[in-house]
Amino acid sequence: MEKKKRLLEISGVCGIRSVGRIAVEIAREYEEQGWECKIAYGRLDVPEQYQKYAVKIGDRLNLAVHGVASMAFDRHGLASKRATKAFLRWAEEYDPDVLWLHVIHGYYINYELLFRWIKSRPGMKVFWTFHDCWAFTGHCCYFSAEKCEKWKTGCGRCPLLKRYPSCYGLDNSARNYARKKAAFTGVKDLTIICPSHWLAELTKQSFLREYPVEVRRNKIDLSSFVPTTGSFLSDYGLEEKKIVLGVASSWDWRKGLRDYVELSRRLPKEYAVMVVGLFEKQIRQLGRDLPDREFRKEAPNVFCYASKGSADLWCLTKTNNVRELAELYTVSAVYANLSYEENYPTTNLEAAACKTPVVTYNSGGSPESCLPENVVEPGDLDGLIRVIKRICE
């Protein structure tokens, strides 16, 4: 009996968050064509329905040690040697015909060992989907907000050293740049996939310009992200509110969290601003910016900063429940993507699939999945409010 062709994907997570869901969708496509598929991952749990794909790289100790190496010595992607060697022994035995890389940062794998193994297999086709800019910088994942162009010629004295992957010690960005360039160039059969034209153009200006670069839009599971009914609005007395929704797998300044807070101050009472994907600690810290509001814990994962004269701010903790997420998209009047640095966000696609209008900042590739009249410049809250009110009329 002829051996099935084999696909191996490498991703930070499997089956959760946007990158993990994209990896699963690719595996499903190959599986439908008769391939055997595995997804190697480094972090967090895998939903039961995707366990058949999952191959774990390392453990919690590996993540912790790698984290120290990153935070103290700016050696992100250069720790995890033992975990990577163990994984590569398994991968050699698995013997994939196609290797598909996704996010290889995230404290779980050593990129030099990985690419040494890739180069030892010149007959293996390699795809690499870029979900950010980390592959061609000496440190950061995004640099556009800082207007830094060191990545074009060689990094050093990094102005974003404390940004993910955070370092509070030595600046090794110049050396990291050189090591990445040496590791990532010279692969015989590698194609870079960019979900947005914005990222594709940046990649073509980087040291990875030797490779073919293709724009392939991120895909979502259209059987899951459909208009979905539920009881969320009635459960929390929000039936008469116009919901302005924001969703992210991790929240920081880059995702525009403070702009959602400010939006709740400026929108009138008939609106409610809802932010999904926060940690409870983050939610409680928002109280420093909202001292005049009543804080309520409505459910184990649902919190509200209630206002007497403007929009309430609703905060929900992380969810990997796709149906719950589809319901939140569906019940919202507007999905607002207020990220200051973005690639090609699947949340825009998920909201649109649930028939919810999308408004976004003119940031990275985010406008490529939005109507032009619903795009405003980053930080232009007055323009944002005008668009939201027009959509909700």
Q: How far is CA 301 from the centre of its chain?
A: 21
What was the pLDDT predicted at 175? 98
Tokens of 178: 């050189």
Q: What is the pTM for the complete model shown?
A: 0.88
**Bridge-based pairing state of the strands 125-129 and 98-101:** parallel
Q: Tens-digit pLDDT profile for the chain (393 aa)?
A: 577 999 999 999 999 988 999 999 999 999 999 999 999 999 999 999 999 999 999 999 999 999 999 999 999 999 999 999 999 999 999 999 999 999 999 999 999 999 999 999 999 999 999 999 999 999 999 998 889 999 999 999 999 999 999 999 999 999 999 999 999 999 999 999 999 999 999 999 999 999 999 999 988 888 999 999 999 999 999 999 999 999 998 888 889 999 999 999 999 999 999 999 999 999 999 999 999 999 999 999 999 999 999 999 999 998 878 899 999 999 999 999 999 999 999 999 999 999 999 999 999 999 999 999 999 999 999 999 999 999 998
The backbone torsions φ and ψ at residue 260, rounded to the nearest 5 degrees and listed phi first, read: -65, -40
CATH of the domain at 267: 3.40.50.2000
Is 321 part of any domain? Answer: yes
Is 331 part of any domain? Answer: yes
CA dihedral 335, 290, 266, 388 (to 10 degrees): 0
What was the pLDDT predicted at 116? 98
Number of structural domains the chain divides into: 2
Instruction: Please indicate, yes or no, whether residues 254 and 368 belong to a single structural domain of this protein.
Output: yes
Burial class (CB in 10 A: 0-12, 13-18, 19+), 361: buried
CA atoms of 149 and 32, how far apart (whole Å)? 42
Is 221 part of any domain? Answer: no
Instruction: Please indicate, yes or no, whether residues 189 and 239 belong to a single structural domain of this protein.
Output: no
- Domain containing 75 equals 6-215
What was the pLDDT predicted at 377? 96
CA atoms of 178 and 180, how far apart (whole Å)? 6
First to last CA, the chain: 63
Instruction: Please indicate, yes or no, whether residues 16 and 158 belong to a single structural domain of this protein.
Output: yes
What was the pLDDT predicted at 145? 86
Is 245 part of any domain? Answer: yes
CA atoms of 363 and 346, how far apart (whole Å)? 14
3-state secondary structure at position 129: strand
Instruction: Please indicate, yes or no, whether residues 278 and 384 belong to a single structural domain of this protein.
Output: yes
Instruction: Please indicate, yes or no, whether residues 197 and 64 belong to a single structural domain of this protein.
Output: yes
Instruction: Please indicate, yes or no, whether residues 297 and 170 belong to a single structural domain of this protein.
Output: no
Instruction: Please indicate, yes or no, whether residues 150 and 250 belong to a single structural domain of this protein.
Output: no
What was the pLDDT predicted at 1? 58
Tell me what the pLDDT averaged over the chain comes to.
96
Is 48 part of any domain? Answer: yes
Please answer whether residues 303 and 289 qualify as being in contact, where contact means their C-beta atoms are separated by less than 8 angstroms: no
Is 368 part of any domain? Answer: yes
Please answer whether residues 139 and 74 qualify as being in contact, where contact means their C-beta atoms are separated by less than 8 angstroms: yes
pLDDT tens-digit readout, 108-148: 999 999 999 999 999 999 999 999 999 999 999 999 888 99
What was the pLDDT predicted at 95? 97
Tokens of 19: 């990158």
CATH of the domain at 153: 3.40.50
Instruction: Please indicate, yes or no, whether residues 15 and 115 belong to a single structural domain of this protein.
Output: yes
3-state secondary structure at position 100: strand
